Structure 1
Amino acid sequence: MSEINFHDAQQALGFLQPQLQRIETEVYQTRFPSFDYSRLMFVNTDGGMWDAGSVFYSGSIAGAAQFLSGKGVDMPFAEVAQSQHLRTNHFAGIGYEWSLQELQRAAALGRNLGSEKALAASKVAEAFLYGIAMRGSDEKGITGLINDAQVPAALVAADGTGSARDWASKDADKVARDVNAVLNAPATETKETHRANTLLLPTSRLQAIAGKRIGDGTDSVLKFIKENNAYTLETGQPLTIIGSRELETAGADSAARMIAYDNSREVMQFHLPGPHEFLPAFQKSPMLWEVAGIMNVGGVEIRLPKAVAYRDGL
């Protein structure tokens, strides 16, 4: 293999471009399950990397039908109470770089550049987006799935041992009751127009109810909830139950929180008009090449807060 002159821009790019194409192909085929926010909510990628933001509305409906006479003029009307919100997109980035030494060694040995740096940048980007989706950002003044102030929140019943709320102090029947209470809340609050099809639990509580026995001891609380919840009984569809480390201290006064919601585009969206992508490499110094990685994120939009319910203290 002839020697590559990395001080010649054309030769350097001739070596780097096919290398980076291979690396990016590997990166985009990789999945990071622990940061998979897409299974928790609809990810809206409408727009593009340079969009400034979007407008959305949240609210609820009101009104009641009434009996009328054939000549009645007092027609009742439905109302839609809405609040307008501007969802600003926020530009962010994480990339990687190659030194002259690394490039020279790879070229001399006829080896491909390793994909570890690109994979690391991509994983950091996914962790960043996961944090925005779940918690929002204090810096940008936005909230996420687990801490939106518009969502109705309450404490679980204080009827455990010594009037405690936590599940460790409650028997299996009371734990199951707490779970079904939060699952039923969205249907009650939305007049049965939305039903919770997803339940998020702190990982420690999910593990606890998987081993906690109910009734005659043949079923766990987790199995009982899966088979005996309003959503499954009415639709015949399985309830999605997911454990999340983010909920261990997400509630009021850092208490554990569980969340029940209708996981649909109508209720909740994560705006990601610019998913993480790498830009072409460029030489930024005599001995350093940079590959910038950029993204444009708008955050979580909960359009129908009453189709979501928080319960704390479990």
Structure 2
Amino acid sequence: MNRDPLSYVSQAVCLNNSLRRIGMPTLTIMTNAPPLIAKRLENMAPEIRPAVTMLTATINLPKSTPFYAAHFKLDLMDQVAAMLPDDTMMLLLDADMVAMLPLDRHLIERCAEAGLGAFDISDQVFPAYGSGRVVADLEIAAGQRLRNPRWYGGEFLLATPASLRRLVTRARVSCARYISESERVEHHGDEIFISAALNALVDEGQALIEVGAYQAVGRHWPGNNYRDIGWFRCCSFVHLPGGKSLLEKQARFVDFAPDRFWRHLRVAHLRGRARQAIKRVARGTVKRWLASQLCYAAMLFARLISCLR
């Protein structure tokens, strides 16, 4: 694990380089420590440097809170909603991502018409934690029964200013409820209360475009089996929550090179597959050993009973 508290800046540099390559706007880093970030970026040429904006934090949480920093995305969304001109949209991205292809123009138009575009990752979250537990957490944060509960990833959100303001208002309420009920929920971080707010808005008639179906974004974990690695090559954005060190190494280059990135990602993916295979074999070996020990213990117990008779 990288212990550098500013390692995310390197990830953001890689993301910004990838955005520049496909002609998208410069990344803006929202932070409560602009001078520190500016110092980290001072050796970069101004024309290729990410922009840096002060983030005013209002959420009060202990720093021991799981996923502490992620909670402040709500403050970021609130601040951006007040800054954006009405004819623009906010694209919220996590730092540990890369842009591979421009977003589809028709998808952007659909999101602009609907007001919101979000990344539904229910197919990954529900099986991993159990649908009953996930739905219960969402409804605790929402404070109501949800018609069709979905879990949205926090790495991607496309929103018009008007819809963003509605989302922030609802998310403030779900965030406060989530914090007060934190001992009852299994999930922690921004995804639970933002997802709860999105679900509640949809139930009230808010249109929402699920961008994952359009391959606007894909979430890749090294070695996972739910998607073939080739599928990610057709995504506009790739999120690498398990590949932060890979992104930081890519940030050392002035320009983002897709072929170089994919070469390193393939290696990381294969290593992840190998680690998973070893873990499965190890778990199977331990289970077989425990089963044999239980059988042996049962035999000894049976012999002891027969001797007592």
Q: TM-score, normalised by structure 1?
A: 0.22
Q: TM-score, normalised by structure 2?
A: 0.22
Bigger proportion of residues as helix = 2
Higher CA-based Rg: 1
Higher RCO (CA 8 Å, separation ≥ 6 residues): 1
Bigger proportion of residues as strand = 1
